[in-house]
Amino acid sequence: MSVALPTLSAMAENENPDQPDTPSETARTPRRSTLRSLLRLWPYAREVRWRIAGATAAALVASGSVLLVPLVLRRIVDGPIAHHDLGALWPLAGLLLLLGLIEAGLFGVRRVIVARPLARVESAMRGDLYAKLQRLPVSFHDRWPSGQLLSRATSDMFTMRLFLAFPLVFLIVNSMVFLIGSVMMFLLDWRLGLITLLPAAPLMVLTRHFESRYSRAARRAQDQNGDLATVIEESVLGIRILKAFGRHRTMAERFRQQTRELRGTELHKADMLANLWAVIVGLPEFALGCALAVGAVRVADDQLTVGTLVAFLSIALALRWPVESLGWLLAYANEAATATDRFFEVMDEPEKPELPSERHSALSAPARSWAQEADKGIRFSGVRFRYPDAPAGTPDLLCGIDLHIRHGETMALVGATGSGKTTLTALLPRLYEATGGSITLDGRDIRDIPRQRLRELVSVAFEEPTLFSASVRENVLMGAPDAGPEQLDAALDTAQAGFVHKLPAGVETQVGEQGLSLSGGQRQRLALARAVVGEPGFLVLDDPLSALDVHTEALVEQALRQVLGGTTALVVAHRPSTVLLADRVAVLDEGRIAAVGTHQELLRTSAVYRELMTGEAAPALEGSPAR
């Protein structure tokens, strides 16, 4: 569990320039302009551009009909009311009713036009994000907390969709309505128009200032949301450990602390919005009051008709919503821009090229062809590796691995805990890229083999067996989607996983997070079945028997011997019983292969090996060659 890791939002405050390319770094980069961020949504919005344009047109006509109401009012006040002519009143009243109906109808139409297509846009974006997450290398997932990815795939998506459906349309419509209304006010009486529009200049300065401050707070809140999702996920997945160690109160306190921080940020946002709102509402009201006073004097002096003053005030009142809504529309646009930035931070992450690199493509065809006999098997040549986030100045974890696993051979890999055994095995299916040297399979550099093909050739069972929320059959056949029932049964037999036939629905029983909970040993056996079901050419097993009882271990070993006989395998081993499955053993020590030989040879010649296997420290007897 990574509960001790700093949260993303906390990291975002950290200004350490030596940090590698982490989410915190992207969060620290200076904010792009809101508009530029939002424009990145165009490739997705493009598909629904005509729908959005239609919704904008409907909302514009609806709002326009509101602006016509004051003109009709003027006709009513200066006409039928001033002349006590009731007969002339009815058609105008009917017109008012019609305008009201048009407004209500068109606002309804706007909603219908965009709702469905935007749900499609959201789902397309989510699909792209998911596919991207699948393609990104494991080192990316090591760096990014899962809650941050989860919040990008859920709440950020929702924010972006809502922005396209509502704030985007109304930012356009309300701005146009404001412009048209302002022109109408000027045409009715330019003096009153000037007084009413005087606050526009200070309001523009204020909203600009608000925008930059609000976007920082919006970013912090969204990152804190992601951190919160990480804590919830870890607490749920690790609930047994938390309870067993009595740490649930500590975790709950940590959660409360993060919730308080998020609440603080949200309140800060609300304060900023409230202050902006007070000015946005207060200033125009004050200006309108002044215009009313001046207008009343002008009516008394017969310089203005009552109808014109009523129409003017009605327009000013109709413009209240477009002006008042500006605050939260801008706030929402900011949130959407932040959500877009967060979405593209993941989408912009570089993926490792799928095709062979230029260096390898440039090799002559014979050099790339499958190997001669001596090269067959797995060969590590001068392989170096360090994790991208390893502290600067620390030596490479693997610093020149030379090892040849002959065709059809099973090689056990032993070494002290933390010596890099799992890391070395992860280089073979290219879960991580070696930072130096080369690895070949039957003489062919693994970088020359398309990843998909490489992962068909190399099958892996990790120490921590992960099962998905799916049936036993689906979990096992992940290792060979085309395999039939016979192969499934054979793999289950090999892994001594016959217990599945006693499950409520046999191999169709749902297991994993949302299914039946299995014991550690049962999970490990299913993971083993998954690794062997495709009868892979190369097999990597990371301590595959660690969670089995002695009896089951003996049975699995027996069956594994058959599988290992037909493949080239690298098996990480901690115990003599696992080592005995192998033809030879390689000892990993201080980033290098310190010795290679059979179990008996190494017991005689390698002090490191003897210490690892028996726990006895003995005088150094190193001397076995590394190949």
Ligand X SMILES: Nc1ncnc2c1ncn2[C@@H]1O[C@H](COP(=O)(O)OP(=O)(O)OP(=O)(O)O)[C@@H](O)[C@H]1O
Give contact residues for ligand X (rule: CB under 6 A): 142, 387, 389, 397, 415, 417-423
CB of 143 to ligand X, least distance (A): 9
How far is CA 122 from each of CA 16, 106, 158, rounded to the nearest angstrom?
Answer: 36, 24, 7
CB of 399 to ligand X, least distance (A): 13
Sign for the pseudo-dihedral over CA of 599, 605, 609, 614: positive
Q: Which is nearer to ligand X, 176 or 397 (CB)?
A: 397
The Cα–Cα gap between 309 and 328 comes to 30
CB of 343 to ligand X, least distance (A): 25
How far is CA 318 from each of CA 110, 289, 570, rounded to the nearest angstrom?
Answer: 20, 15, 76
CB of 153 to ligand X, least distance (A): 22
The Cα–Cα gap between 175 and 183 comes to 12
CB of 543 to ligand X, least distance (A): 7
The Cα–Cα gap between 484 and 212 comes to 60
CB of 488 to ligand X, least distance (A): 30
Q: Which is nearer to ligand X, 163 or 385 (CB)?
A: 385
CB of 13 to ligand X, least distance (A): 23
Q: Which is nearer to ligand X, 463 or 493 (CB)?
A: 463
CB of 380 to ligand X, least distance (A): 15
Both tokens of 154, joined, read 């859920």
**CA atoms lying within 13 Å on the CB side of residue 582:** 32
CB of 515 to ligand X, least distance (A): 28
Beta strand pairing call for 592-597 and 584-589? antiparallel
Q: Which is nearer to ligand X, 134 or 417 (CB)?
A: 417
How far is CA 343 from each of CA 76, 119, 230, 259, rounded to the nearest angstrom?
Answer: 54, 17, 17, 23
* Cβ partners under 8 Å of residue 236, min gap 6: none
CB of 118 to ligand X, least distance (A): 38
Beta partners for residue 593, in sequence order: 588
How many other CB atoms sit within 10 Å of the CB of residue 517? Answer: 10
Cα 587 off chain centre by: 39
Both tokens of 309, joined, read 């003053």
The Cα–Cα gap between 126 and 151 comes to 11
CB of 441 to ligand X, least distance (A): 21
Nearest to 344 by CA among 23, 613, 98, 15: 23
CB of 420 to ligand X, least distance (A): 4
Q: Which is nearer to ligand X, 107 or 387 (CB)?
A: 387
The Cα–Cα gap between 165 and 56 comes to 10
Q: Which is nearer to ligand X, 415 or 515 (CB)?
A: 415
Exposure pattern of 155-172 as b/e (b: 16+ CB <10 Å)? bbbebbbbbbbbbbbbbb
Please spell the DSSP secondary structure of 507-529, one letter per residue: GG-EESTTSB---HHHHHHHHHH
Task: Answer whether 584's CB lies under 8 Å from 597's CB.
Answer: yes
CB of 535 to ligand X, least distance (A): 26
Beta strand pairing call for 436-441 and 444-445? antiparallel
Both tokens of 624, joined, read 């076995």
| Residues 47, 48, 54: CA angle, nearest 5 degrees | 145
**CA atoms lying within 13 Å on the CB side of residue 489:** 4
Task: Answer whether 185's CB lies under 8 Å from 193's CB.
Answer: yes
Rg of the chain's alpha carbons, rounded to an integer? 35
CB of 335 to ligand X, least distance (A): 33
How far is CA 63 from each of CA 95, 104, 256, 544, 584, rounded to the nearest angstrom?
Answer: 16, 10, 45, 68, 81
Both tokens of 48, joined, read 């629904």
CB of 387 to ligand X, least distance (A): 3
Q: Which is nearer to ligand X, 142 or 622 (CB)?
A: 142
Q: Which is nearer to ligand X, 142 or 373 (CB)?
A: 142
Burial of 431 (0-12, 13-18, 19+ CB in 10 A): middle
Q: Which is nearer to ligand X, 9 or 419 (CB)?
A: 419
Q: Which is nearer to ligand X, 17 or 418 (CB)?
A: 418
The Cα–Cα gap between 339 and 163 comes to 10
* Cβ partners under 8 Å of residue 208, min gap 6: none
